[in-house]
């Protein structure tokens, strides 16, 4: 059955082979994966949708400083230089190998993550309950991965794999910390989304808002929350900081946490949300957000 599927769609075979040994150019890889994931051909000559323009930016907007901005360790230094040290989650330690971590010298709560990938995250709420073997497997697997080859997000290609251990952020009102993600187009925040319920039975919820905290009528890959998400206490401050960091960029997403009034902490910088492979519903919003990204070829 698998062989028949590959015969009907040779692009799938090329993508499968590329997972084992990277063979494809960035351009060909993106064209094949885009068609496979999105269901329509990637137009790089005249990109119109948000997802198409994200692929164009991967190929053509390659400023060297982007690598520093997506490295989870170096990004803290970059952001501190731009907006101030007070917005940075304190780092406990960094290291190259899991065996260098002395668990019993860590506080009761902490976060462990790899500096060079996405999703390799361990949130420890109580040190005595940490499954050390599971944590080791997850981090060591992450250290071996070059995230660039997953979806050709080129800034990750040359980042040195390291381990970052930082303080665990908590929310006084909710068990789970809410991510606030600011989508900046030409240096201006045009919309915001939240990530909630990551660890719930029903799974991650992604809810989009305008700058005035009105829920927008679309979804992207994940369903929106079915419960009202309160406006963060320092929304205007986070918008201001996001726009300071996004100045001069066609598109970038800046993430913050706002666990309590007056406390704003930087999360991460992302140039390619969902790697540009996440479907919108209704589809028209793929075009509407795409219109907001102004490329030099337009």
The answer, as to whether pTM is greater than 0.75, is yes
- 18-22, 127-131, 144-148, 149-153: which range is least confident on average? 18-22
Confidence check: pLDDT of 126 > 90: no
Residue 203 included in any domain: yes
Compute the average pLDDT of residues 88-98: 94
Q: What's the CA gap between 231 and 221, in Å, rounded?
A: 23
Closest CA to 71 of 157, 178, 173, 194: 157
CATH number assigned to the domain comprising residue 221: 3.30.470
pLDDT > 90 fraction of the chain, expressed in percent and rounded? 69
Same domain assignment for residues 187 and 133: no
Q: What's the CA gap between 195 and 20, in Å, rounded?
A: 32
Same domain assignment for residues 178 and 295: yes
Among 116, 133, 168, identify where a domain stops.
Answer: 168
CB neighbours of residue 229 within 10 Å: 16
Same domain assignment for residues 162 and 195: no
Residue 139 included in any domain: yes
Domain range for 197 is 174-298
Q: What is the pLDDT of residues 154-172, one digit of tens each?
A: 999 999 999 999 998 877 6
CB neighbours of residue 157 within 10 Å: 14
Same domain assignment for residues 116 and 213: no
Same domain assignment for residues 164 and 247: no
Same domain assignment for residues 178 and 218: yes
Closest CA to 79 of 245, 249, 285: 245
- 15-19, 187-191, 232-236, 276-280: which range is least confident on average? 15-19
Which backbone phi and psi does 14 adopt, to 5 degrees? -65, -40
Residue 222 included in any domain: yes
Same domain assignment for residues 148 and 214: no
Confidence check: pLDDT of 112 > 80: yes
Same domain assignment for residues 155 and 188: no
Residue 73 included in any domain: no
- 74-83, 125-134, 158-167, 262-271: which range is least confident on average? 125-134
Confidence check: pLDDT of 8 > 60: no
Predicted pLDDT of residue 20:
58
What confidence tier does 145 reach under pLDDT thresholds 50, 70, 90? confident
Compute the average pLDDT of residues 251-260: 96
Among 136, 168, 200, identify where a domain stops.
Answer: 168
Confidence check: pLDDT of 7 > 90: no
In DSSP terms, 163 is beta-bridged to: 95, 114
Residue 45 included in any domain: yes
Residue 75 included in any domain: no
Compute the average pLDDT of residues 229-252: 97
Q: What is the pLDDT of residues 17-69, one digit of tens each?
A: 666 557 889 999 999 999 999 999 999 999 999 999 999 999 999 999 999 99
Compute the average pLDDT of residues 106-111: 90
pLDDT > 70 fraction of the chain, expressed in percent and rounded? 90
What confidence tier does 16 reach under pLDDT thresholds 50, 70, 90? low
Which backbone phi and psi does 194 adopt, to 5 degrees? -110, 150
Same domain assignment for residues 154 and 108: yes
Compute the average pLDDT of residues 246-253: 96
Same domain assignment for residues 179 and 293: yes
Among 135, 168, 201, identify where a domain stops.
Answer: 168
Residue 69 included in any domain: no
Q: What is the pLDDT of residues 191-223, one digit of tens each?
A: 999 998 876 777 889 999 999 999 999 999 999
What confidence tier does 238 reach under pLDDT thresholds 50, 70, 90? very high
Same domain assignment for residues 285 and 190: yes
Number of domains the chain contains: 3
Residue 80 included in any domain: no
Same domain assignment for residues 180 and 286: yes
């Amino acid at each position: 059955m698998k062989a028949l599927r590959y015969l009907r769609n040779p692009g799938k075979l090329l993508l499968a082979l590329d997972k084992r040994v990277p063979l494809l150019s960035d351009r060909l890889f993106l064209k094949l994966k885009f068609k496979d994931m999105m269901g329509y051909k990637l137009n790089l000559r005249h990109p119109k949708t948000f997802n198409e323009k994200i692929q164009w930016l991967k190929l053509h907007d390659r400023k060297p400083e982007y690598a520093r901005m997506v490295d989870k360790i170096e990004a803290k230094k970059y952001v501190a230089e731009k907006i101030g040290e007070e917005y940075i989650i304190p780092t406990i330690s960094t290291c190259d190998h899991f065996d260098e971590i002395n668990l019993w010298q860590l506080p009761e709560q902490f976060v462990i993550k790899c500096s060079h990938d996405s999703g390799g995250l361990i949130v420890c709420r109580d040190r005595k309950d940490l499954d050390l073997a599971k944590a080791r497997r997850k981090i060591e697997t992450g250290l071996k991965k070059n995230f660039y080859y997953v979806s050709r997000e080129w800034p990750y290609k040359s980042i040195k794999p390291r381990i970052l251990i930082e303080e665990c952020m908590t929310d006084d009102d909710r068990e789970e910390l809410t991510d606030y993600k600011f989508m900046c187009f030409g240096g201006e925040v045009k919309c915001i989304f939240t990530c909630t319920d990551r660890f719930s039975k029903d799974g991650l919820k992604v809810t989009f808002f305008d700058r005035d905290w009105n829920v927008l009528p679309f979804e992207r890959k994940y369903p929106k929350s079915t419960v009202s998400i309160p406006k963060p206490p320092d929304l205007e401050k986070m918008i201001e900081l996001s726009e300071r960091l996004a100045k001069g960029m066609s598109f970038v997403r800046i993430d913050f946490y706002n666990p309590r009034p007056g406390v704003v902490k930087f999360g991460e910088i992302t140039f390619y949300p969902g790697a540009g492979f996440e479907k919108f519903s209704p589809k028209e919003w793929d075009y509407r957000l795409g219109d907001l990204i102004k490329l030099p070829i337009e």
